A and B are shown apart, each in its own frame.
Chain A
Amino acid sequence: MSVNISNLYQELSERVIAARNSGQPLIIKGGGSKQFYGRNVIGDVIDLRACSGIIAYEPTELVITAYAGTRLQEIENALAQHGQMLPFEPPGFGDYATLGGAVACGLSGPGRPYTGSVRDYVLGIKCLTGKGEILTFGGQVMKNVAGYDVSRLMTGALGTLGIILEVSIKVMPRPEYETALTRKTDFNTALTSMNAWAGESLSLSAASYDDGQLNIRLSGKETAVASARKILAMEESGTELDYWSQLREHQLAFFKDTKPLWRLSVPSTTGNMNLAGDWLIDWGGAQRWLKTDEPVDNIHRITEQAGGHATLFRGGDHDGEVFQPLKPALMQLHLRLKQVFDPVWILNRGRMYRDF
């Protein structure tokens, strides 16, 4: 770290205090790779790229602590040197994705149903609230129930509760062995299989249904993967382990389209949904990507009926609501929490919901 971090923090908190006093909204920005995510916002940009570097990493503790502006790639490289990884496979969506952005957006990759989400691995956070206070929650240990779990509350809050400055994350060993399998089948069979296999000890680490193909990734001890493969008896899709990183990064052909892209998060067994468009099913059925021109209300209604929620991910109108509307009582609780962390509503105002 070349910059003096305490000076930097001082500067950041002065900017927040000035903004608080003037009511000027601030846009929190890391590498800018996920600027498309959420609603459009206006304000002065707070750039966190200078706040970068790994603070502590001890492989035997399974914990890494880094400044929020640290590039994900730098973290992943450091972990890879010790045979470890970020188990939630955060999508970068660009070279300059940062840790803070990944945590604030709360997005997880294809392994999510089997190995967990970003918030499952966040252990602690240092943040700068909308009051200009620098506070620390959680810590660097696996188990910690002292105080409310503010670190996880901040995960996925899109910066609306505070500027994330430092994060401690639990990391995991990379699987000893991985393989990708594929089979041509219809949607219903694929869905049934994905759900049934998730209920067995089969080293499943990803499952998608894409263009008539059921795709599976197995990860773990080589012996365990081999035994699972025998049971599943699917063809191996050659070198296509790449498929999973391309799915995570939205580099597959499916995503090269200008139509609005929706992310539907639904119970994994949800059958065909009555929405016209192109589908790609990930997360063993629990996350569905939909390219569609269906009206927003339709999408929200049908997804809610299925017990899930829909997000306008890319394209479409990002000045309107992009996340599923909250029930009034829940929205009220959100407003109260926003008030606690950011009383003048200066941080990423309106990025999540128009109301705050």
Chain B
Amino acid sequence: MSSVIERLRAILPEEAVISGPESLQVYECDALSAYRTLPRCVVLPADIDQVLAVIRICHAENIPVVARGAGTGLSGGALPVADGVVMSLAKLNRILAIDPDRRLARVQPGVRNLSVSEAAAPYGLFYAPDPSSQIACTIGGNVAENSGGVHCLKYGLTVHNITALKIITIEGELLVIGSEALDTPGFDLLALLTGSEGMLGVVVEVTLKLLPKPVQQQILLAAFDSVDAAGNGVAAIIAAGIIPAGLEMMDNAGIRAVESYIHAGYPVDAAAILLCELDGVQEEVDSSSKEVADILIKSGASEVRMAKDKAEGEKFWAGRKAAFPAVGRIAADYYCMDGTIPRKHIARVLQTINDLSRQYGLGVVNVFHAGDGNLHPLILYDVAVPGELERAEEFGGKILETCVAVGGTITGEHGVGIEKINQMCVQFNAQELILFHDIKHAFDPPGLLNPGKAVPTLKRCAEFGAMHVHAGQLPFPELERF
């Protein structure tokens, strides 16, 4: 037993320190299970004082700390560091206050995303960011990843929907960032911390904005004979000045996978379908739905269905929601990517993805947030077949590089974690990466919070060989050799 574990046991209840190899296995990975590491131990503090006490010990002993919510992350963000401590925030799971007048909810980080909207529902309010994992994922994880969801096209990401954070720094300082007002003096640290992947501080409390629940919703399903036409449909809706609550696309492979799984009634011959949700007051939804239906027909939809009632609308969505499990049935394993591109390149990038799919001999399914250009290609592979995982990863890396090449980004909402760390070398140059390291250092001088994630070292980039000439600059001009 190391002295750290003893020290942790001295300040936490017995069941709050986990250290046996078997019990540690539960925590060896997040939802990106290709990466696994056993930590030294897992702690489950139950309040802010316990979090502080753990941080103080780790700081004093120079032990890395990886914060963990529900472990649904898809980029290895909560992957343990060997010899480090995993701090699960699962026990800090109370909704502290719902304030219907200010339209705010104050919650602990371990609160599940969906439970906020459930608690706000009696007041006619909801919490807008709705990742598909919302039954399980935690608000702390959402803040760390700046998570989005199907409805973020209209309602924004986590960063747009929080007003305050309490964080604990590695130096044991409890900081209040933001407030219940709409802005705070000084730098916008709230924005800097959102999406910082647990590298700058441990989030111990979050104040969330609540919005009025829309009175009415309407869902349209449009089928297209080409991905190109579906992409045009997306652009035409936006050009008409309509911002749907959600606008999702699914390619033929996705449609077929879903149909054979839950029979949502999707047209299996279509090259792509669009699902468009409109919300607002009754009159508004009625008129916009007609408008959108016209636009989609004009853009070349072979068929547009408007849900005639709530049940049919739910059926339309059911297919989308079941897409990942449906893909899970047709392939032994799949690997979910997360690049974002300018919408106008949707058709072109999907074509490139299909070409790569042939080249790597691995199937691919596309089900994604078309409205904001956030792609989620699912690469199909079988981990039992030697070499397939590596091929899938390489294929995925190529997709992300394609996203950057067309002016997009390697991650829209899942975060960099450990997964996309090499592609960070493609998206940013050496000076930019150094600045990220310096920011981390400003918050975490000893570099103990989730070390090794999100921002690659320059050495790693050099090894990856991805330091292409970026913005006319030579790679690492200031570095002589490695």
A-B pairs with beta carbons under 8 A, tally: 248
Number of interface residues of B (CB under 8 A): 94
The smallest C-beta distance from B373 to any residue of chain A, in angstroms, reads 6
**Minimum CB distance partner of B240 in chain A:** A173
**Minimum CB distance partner of A143 in chain B:** B412
Q: Does B227 interact with chain A (Cβ within 8 Å)?
A: no
Q: Which chain B residues lie closer than 8 Å to A117 at the CB level? A: 182-183
**Complex contact A339–B442 (CB within 8 A):** yes
Q: Which chain B residues lie closer than 8 Å to A333 at the CB level? A: 175, 189, 442-443
Q: Which chain A residues lie closer than 8 Å to B407 at the CB level? A: 139-141
**Minimum CB distance partner of A326 in chain B:** B186
**Complex contact A224–B281 (CB within 8 A):** yes
Q: Does A116 interact with chain B (Cβ within 8 Å)?
A: yes
Q: A60-B238, A224-B284, A227-B283 are in contact. Are A309 and B185 (CB under 8 A)?
A: yes
Q: Which chain A residues lie closer than 8 Å to B343 at the CB level? A: 60-61
With most chain B CB atoms within 10 A of its CB, the pick from A149, A157, A269, A339 is A149
Q: Does A129 interact with chain B (Cβ within 8 Å)?
A: yes
**Complex contact A307–B192 (CB within 8 A):** no
Number of interface residues of A (CB under 8 A): 84
The interface bits of chain A over 324-341 (1 if a CB of B lies within 8 angstroms of the residue's CB, else 0) are: 101101100110110111
Q: A228-B281, A265-B183, A283-B182 are in contact. Are A148 and B192 (CB under 8 A)?
A: yes
Q: Which chain B residues lie closer than 8 Å to A340 at the CB level? A: 435, 438-439, 441-442
Q: Does B59 interact with chain A (Cβ within 8 Å)?
A: no
Choice from A155, A227, A265, A334 contacting B282 with Cβ under 8 Å: A227
- CB within 8 Å of A: which of B68-107? 100-103
Q: Does B287 interact with chain A (Cβ within 8 Å)?
A: yes
Stretch from B45-53, B317-325, B356-364, B424-432 at the A interface? B424-432
Interface residues of chain A, those whose CB is within 8 Å of chain B, are 58-63, 83-84, 106, 112-113, 116-117, 119-120, 129, 133, 135-137, 139-150, 152-153, 155-157, 161, 172-174, 176, 195-196, 198-203, 220-221, 223-224, 226-228, 265-269, 283, 286-287, 307-309, 311, 323-324, 326-327, 329-330, 333-334, 336-337, 339-341, 352-353
Closest 10 CB pairs of A and B: A173-B241, A152-B191, A223-B283, A143-B412, A224-B284, A336-B442, A142-B372, A60-B235, A267-B180, A340-B438
Interface residues of chain B, those whose CB is within 8 Å of chain A, are 100-103, 123-125, 145-146, 148, 152-153, 156-157, 159-160, 173, 175-177, 179-189, 191-192, 194-196, 200, 210, 212-215, 235-236, 238-239, 241-243, 280-284, 286-288, 340-344, 369, 372-374, 407-416, 420, 424, 427-429, 431-432, 435-436, 438-443, 454-455, 471
